[in-house]
């Protein structure tokens, strides 16, 4: 058991971690690494609407969870022409939150301060950590907030503080309205875990802390049900399901199924199709009295299709039926695709974009600065024992070991041990959840999704490796 540091010692440890992070980011800035503040992502509304009609735009935004849309609008309103700088500072702070959260989790798992420092700083120097921290995408916020939420979960269990529980559930709600991976069901599971691991006298506090954050997420679902007829945080999901289902049909088979009306006419279109393409096959009656956020074919400020158009809402209803029909009639083909997705989930997450290696990649400028370093790390991590998965082939062993350790700790009568067991259990649950849902319902960009739980993988792996090395050292001493 490690000796618990004093308050002064604890803050000094976090100060050292933060200084190391700041020094690395200053060095990267000096090398010329730039922040890619692109606003033409399909999950964003037109910047002019966000700046001039933020509340209305958020209210009528249905395609994706509105968290990043809302944040973008606030940044544009507050900073104006300096919005890119404010976004960059925010993402640097998120990186700082992430590295300190990793350090906290490592220390909570009883790793030494030195080992915890190495794990946290090494993670912050990964190519994917640097690239996503310098790209205006939801992966960095999700990864940072999820890791922090796990740290707050452990702290709340240890101290039984209403404020810490409120922080945990608030972060869960923010993640739920920002990233489509984390649905209302996930937040409900988080509440169940909080209740399960708490003592009976503390469960009322947990419930009280969860009420307001849960109400926020439910309100989004209810709003979408009332306005758009779907009880969900977003409506674009069926287009993602198309990647892993009907998109894998041979073109002639797909055309025949559409002709036979086994699939909707939308199945013939690319999941990335814009409203113009959908309107060519839509046979229904166009709705009336929708605002421009739902009727404009393009987002004029960024010269990109408007994926929040009303016809895409209608199309995704058809695509949802297409996906379920495919899974019912082609279960083995679907399983094969999901297994391929599982393999792709563990490939290099810096190479997730379809235009990797070209100037159209969002990481093109990053690669101009750190491309050689990225290649070296990717070869080391994803080359052995079997490419392109690499060292992640050992993850099942790490998860089995972590599950056994968590079970042993949870059976202990010591409250500190139980809290550590609950922490490890939550890490495993989030890892398994993201791996499973990313492989089952998405395709082509799975390696990017791994970054959401990469920090939790690192913490559990570091703990496993540390334990193995400690046992080897003990065995050697016994034999000598």
What is the model's pLDDT at position 62? 95
Asked whether the beta carbons of 94 and 140 are under 8 A apart, the reply is yes
Share of the chain above pLDDT 90, in %: 83
Q: What's the 3-state SS for the chain? A: CCCCCCHHHHHHHHHHHHHHHHHHHHHHHHHCCCCECCCCCCCCCCHHHHHHCHHHHHHCCCCCCCHHHHHHHHHHHHHHHHHHHHHHHHHHHHHHHHHHHHHHHHHHCCCCHHHHHHHHHHHHCCHHHHHHHCECCCHHHHHHHHHHHHHHHHHHHHHCCHHHHHHHHHHHHHHHCCCCCCCHHHHHHHHHHHHHHCCHHHHHHHHHHHHHHHHHHHHHHHHHHHHHCCCCCCCCHHHHHHHHCHHHCCHHHHHHHHHCCCCCHHHHCCCCCCHHHHHHHCCCCCCCCCCHHHHCCEECCCCEECCCCHHHHHHHHHHHHHHHHHHHHCHHHHHHHHHHHHHHHCCCHHHCCCCCCCCCCCCHHHHHHHHHHHHHHHHHHHCCCCCCCHHHHHHHHHHHHHHHHHHHHHCCCCHHHHHHHHHHHHHHHHHHHHHHHHHHHCCCCHHHHHHHCHHHHHHHHHHHHHHHHHHHHHHHHHHC
What is the model's pLDDT at position 5? 59
What is the model's pLDDT at position 283? 82
CA 194, chain centre distance (Å): 21
| Mean pLDDT (whole number) for 15-35 | 97
What is the model's pLDDT at position 9? 63
**Domain span holding position 177:** 7-234+346-479
How does pLDDT run across 265-323, given as a tens digit for each residue?
999 998 889 999 999 999 888 888 899 999 999 999 999 999 999 999 999 999 999 99
Residue 120, token pair as written in the block: 């946290």
How does pLDDT run across 316-363, given as a tens digit for each residue?
999 999 999 999 999 999 999 888 888 999 999 999 998 998 999 999
What is the model's pLDDT at position 6? 53
Range of lowest pLDDT (196-200, 285-289, 410-414, 460-464): 285-289
Give the CA dihedral 288, 291, 293, 297, nearest 10 degrees. 40
Q: Does the pLDDT value for residue 442 go beyond 90? A: no
What is the model's pLDDT at position 229? 92
Q: Specify the residue for token string 């090494």.
A: 122
Q: Is residue 255 part of a domain?
A: no
Q: Is residue 267 part of a domain?
A: no
Mean pLDDT, the chain, whole residue set = 93
Asked whether the beta carbons of 279 and 286 are under 8 A apart, the reply is no
Give pTM, 2 decimals: 0.95
What is the model's pLDDT at position 18? 97
Confidence of residue 1 (pLDDT cuts 50, 70, 90): very low
Q: Is residue 17 part of a domain?
A: yes
Q: Is residue 326 part of a domain?
A: no
100 vs 104: CA distance, rounded Å: 6
Q: Is residue 246 part of a domain?
A: no
How does pLDDT run across 171-215, given as a tens digit for each residue?
999 999 999 999 899 999 999 999 999 988 899 999 999 999 999
Range of lowest pLDDT (133-142, 329-338, 449-458): 329-338
> Residues 94, 35, 183, CA angle at the centre, nearest 5°?
45
Q: Is residue 282 part of a domain?
A: no
Share of the chain above pLDDT 70, in %: 98
How does pLDDT run across 139-169, given as a tens digit for each residue?
999 999 999 999 999 999 999 899 999 999 9
Q: Is residue 420 part of a domain?
A: yes
Compare 131 and 317 and report the one with higher pLDDT.
131
Asked whether the beta carbons of 372 and 434 are under 8 A apart, the reply is no
What is the model's pLDDT at position 4? 55
Q: Is residue 387 part of a domain?
A: yes
What is the model's pLDDT at position 160? 87
Confidence of residue 441 (pLDDT cuts 50, 70, 90): confident
| Mean pLDDT (whole number) for 251-272 | 91
Total domains present in the chain: 1
């Amino acid at each position: 058991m490690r000796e618990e540091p004093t308050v002064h010692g604890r803050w000094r440890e976090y100060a050292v971690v933060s200084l190391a992070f700041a020094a690395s980011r200053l060095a990267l800035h000096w090398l010329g690494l730039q922040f890619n503040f692109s606003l033409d992502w399909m999950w964003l509304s037109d910047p002019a609407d966000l700046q001039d009609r933020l509340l209305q735009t958020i209210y009528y935004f249905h395609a994706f969870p509105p968290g990043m849309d809302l944040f973008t609008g606030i940044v544009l309103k507050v900073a104006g022409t300096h919005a890119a700088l404010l976004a960059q500072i925010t993402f640097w702070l998120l990186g700082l939150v992430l590295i300190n959260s990793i350090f906290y989790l490592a220390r909570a798992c009883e790793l030494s301060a030195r080992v915890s420092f190495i794990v946290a700083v090494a993670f912050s120097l990964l190519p994917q950590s640097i690239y996503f921290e310098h790209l205006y995408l939801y992966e960095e916020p999700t990864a940072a907030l999820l890791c922090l939420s796990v740290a707050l979960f452990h702290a709340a269990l240890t101290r039984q503080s209403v404020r810490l529980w409120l922080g945990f559930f608030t972060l869960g709600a923010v993640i739920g309205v920002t990233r489509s991976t984390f649905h209302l069901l996930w937040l409900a599971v988080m509440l169940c875990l909080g209740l399960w691991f708490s003592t009976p006298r503390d469960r009322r506090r947990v419930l009280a802390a969860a009420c307001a954050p849960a109400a926020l997420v439910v309100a989004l679902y209810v709003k979408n049900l009332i306005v758009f007829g779907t009880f969900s945080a977003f409506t674009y999901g069926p287009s993602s399901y198309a990647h892993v289902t009907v998109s894998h049909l041979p073109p002639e088979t797909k055309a025949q199924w559409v002709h036979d009306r086994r699939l909707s006419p939308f199945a013939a279109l690319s999941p990335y199709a814009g409203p113009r393409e959908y309107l060519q096959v839509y046979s229904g009656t166009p709705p009336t009295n929708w605002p421009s956020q739902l009727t404009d074919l393009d987002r004029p400020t960024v010269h990109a299709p408007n994926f929040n158009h009303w016809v895409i809402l209608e199309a995704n209803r058809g695509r949802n039926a297409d996906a379920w029909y495919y899974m019912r009639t082609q279960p083995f083909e679907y399983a094969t695709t999901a297994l391929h997705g599982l393999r792709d989930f563990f490939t290099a997450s810096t190479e997730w974009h379809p235009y990797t290696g070209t100037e159209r990649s969002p990481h093109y400028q990053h690669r101009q600065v750190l491309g050689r370093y990225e290649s070296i790390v990717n070869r080391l991590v994803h080359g052995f024992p079997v490419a392109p998965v690499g060292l992640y082939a050992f993850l099942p062993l790490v998860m089995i070991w972590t599950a056994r350790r968590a079970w042993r700790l949870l059976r202990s009568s010591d409250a500190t041990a139980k809290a550590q067991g609950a922490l490890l259990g939550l890490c495993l649950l989030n890892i398994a959840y993201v791996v499973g849902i990313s492989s089952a319902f998405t395709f082509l960009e799975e390696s990017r999704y791994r970054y959401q739980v990469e920090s939790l993988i690192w913490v559990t792996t570091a703990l496993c490796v540390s334990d193995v090395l400690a046992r080897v050292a003990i065995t050697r001493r016994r034999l000598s």
